[in-house]
Amino acid sequence: MALVGIVGYLLILSLATVYREKAETRLLLLLASSGGLGFAAYLTYIEARILRAWCILCLSSLALIAAITALSIVLAQKLYGEDRL
**What is the Cα 85 distance to its own chain's centre?**
17
Quote the pLDDT of residue 50. Answer: 96
Quote the pLDDT of residue 84. Answer: 55
Number of domains observed in the structure of the chain: 1
**pTM of the predicted protein model:** 0.87
Note down the domain range covering 13: 2-84
Count of C-beta atoms within a 10 Å radius of residue 59? 13
Average pLDDT over every residue of 39-51: 96
Q: Can you say whether the dihedral through the CA atoms of 76, 57, 14, 36 is positive or negative?
A: negative
Quote the pLDDT of residue 31. Answer: 96
Local confidence band at 21 (pLDDT 50, 70, 90 cut-offs): confident
Average pLDDT over every residue of 45-57: 96
Where does 1-85 have alpha helices with state H? 2-17, 25-45, 56-80
